């Protein structure tokens, strides 16, 4: 079976234990709704399941919505977190995982979190309380659907309270989700559109595959 995916990469899965009785022949030379071009192949029932699952995975990762490298800013009074570096790493990993982008250097190196420790007396609500945390997540436009928005807020709130060693901090953590306008995501000296980010990711995956072959 030869499949050309949406990144332009050819994949030839090797599966053992074929059951000739369950073999079915499929002929096609068109682009399916999932974005895969399927070229004249034969596959049994198990192969068909694997190919559909593979198509679904690719579409999820490159559907035009999951292509951001978010920036996360965490603001709190100095001393609230024992290990700010680990908090930054965990926050970046959390959002990257929720977005579901491919695990490639382009996304690993450009998804980052910043922990801002504020001097006492520089943060307060109306009642003068300063034991609050503000988390701001910046992504490109349309990067997070409603399900992902809910997951980001829930998981970052839990992460912050765990890092502070204070479960009650969940009640005093604000998480703000903001978006950069289309074409407003600057990387490598260029203001990228969503389509350009997807193209850049595809190009990097192709280069990684070529280097490993």
11-51 pLDDT, tens digit each: 444 444 444 443 433 343 444 444 444 443 444 444 444 44
* Count of domains forming the chain: 2
Higher per-residue pLDDT: 133 or 6: 133
Residue 181 located in a structural domain:
yes
Q: Do the Cβ atoms of 136 and 173 come closer than 8 Å? A: no
- Residue 206: CB atoms within 10 A of its CB come to 13
pLDDT of residue 141: 87
Range of the domain at 49: 3-61
Tell me the C-alpha distance between 65 and 57, whole Å: 14
| pLDDT above 90 coverage of the chain, percent | 59
Classify residue 128 as left (phi > 0), alpha (psi -120 to 50) or beta.
left
Q: Residue 67 has what pLDDT?
A: 60
Identify the pLDDT of residue 23.
Answer: 40
Which pLDDT score, from 0 to 100, does residue 164 have? 98
Of 42, 61, 80, which closes a domain? 61
What tokens does 153 get? 């807020």
Q: What pLDDT does residue 140 have?
A: 87
Q: Are residues 106 and 191 in the same domain?
A: yes
Same domain for 33 and 83, yes or no, is no
Sign of CA dihedral 51, 3, 6, 35: negative
Residue 76 lies in a domain: yes
Asked if residue 185 and residue 100 are part of one domain, the reply reads yes
């Amino acid at each position: 079976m030869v499949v050309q995916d949406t990144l332009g990469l050819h994949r030839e899965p090797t599966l053992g234990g074929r059951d000739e009785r369950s073999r079915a022949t499929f002929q096609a030379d068109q682009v399916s709704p999932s974005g895969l071009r399927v070229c004249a192949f034969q596959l049994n029932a198990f192969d068909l399941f694997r190919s559909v699952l593979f198509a679904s995975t690719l579409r999820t990762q490159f559907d035009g919505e999951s292509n951001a490298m978010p920036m996360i800013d965490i603001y709190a009074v100095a001393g609230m977190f024992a290990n700010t570096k680990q908090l930054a790493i965990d926050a970046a990993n959390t959002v990257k995982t929720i977005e579901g982008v491919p695990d490639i250097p382009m996304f690993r190196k450009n998804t980052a979190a910043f922990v801002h420790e504020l001097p006492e007396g520089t943060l307060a609500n109306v009642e003068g309380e300063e034991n609050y945390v503000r988390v701001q997540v910046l992504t490109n436009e349309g990067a997070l659907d409603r399900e992902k928005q809910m997951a980001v807020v829930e998981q970052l709130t839990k992460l912050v309270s765990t890092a502070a060693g204070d479960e009650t901090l969940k009640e005093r953590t604000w998480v703000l989700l903001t978006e950069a306008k289309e074409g407003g995501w600057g990387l490598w000296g260029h203001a990228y559109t969503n389509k350009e980010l997807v193209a850049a990711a595809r190009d990097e995956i192709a280069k990684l595959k070529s280097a490993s072959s």
